[in-house]
Amino acid sequence: MKKVIIVGIIVIVLIVSGFILGFIFPAKRGCTEMYCGCEDLTDGDLTERPCNSCSVSNLIFLGGVINFIKVCSGKEIIICENGKKIDEKININKNSCKYEVIFLNNLR
């Protein structure tokens, strides 16, 4: 009976630590590397222009052998003023998110 309790406690600790480790690791962001310029926008107004396709991967559970990640796609938006890029942001499409199972630490 004691062995069952000890094994149960070890399993619970491993599961909880997997979620804690998944929470600690930062999200990974990746975008295509196409050039997106603002040279043709010289009207003086702030303009937002869609640019590269991006994805964000969040680690949900890190278990070593089995890992779960949440992958969402989005679009990089550049902000232009007077023909110059002044800022950028990524708009994530929350409806595009999917969960994936990754085996043996083949994380992206």
Residue-wise pLDDT for 6-34, tens only, equals 999 999 998 899 899 888 888 888 888 88
pTM of the model: 0.70
> Would 16 be classed as within a structural domain?
yes
pLDDT digits (tens, 9 = 90+) for 57-84: 998 998 878 889 999 999 999 888 887 8
> Would 108 be classed as within a structural domain?
no
Angstrom distances, CA of residue 6 to CA of 11, 13, 14, 59, 92: 9, 11, 12, 28, 43
> Would 95 be classed as within a structural domain?
yes
**Average pLDDT of the chain?**
85
Residue 20, domain extent: 2-103
Number of domains, the chain? 1
Residue 71 β-bridge partners:
57, 98
DSSP for 24-47?
Answer: HSPPEEEE-------TT--SSS-E
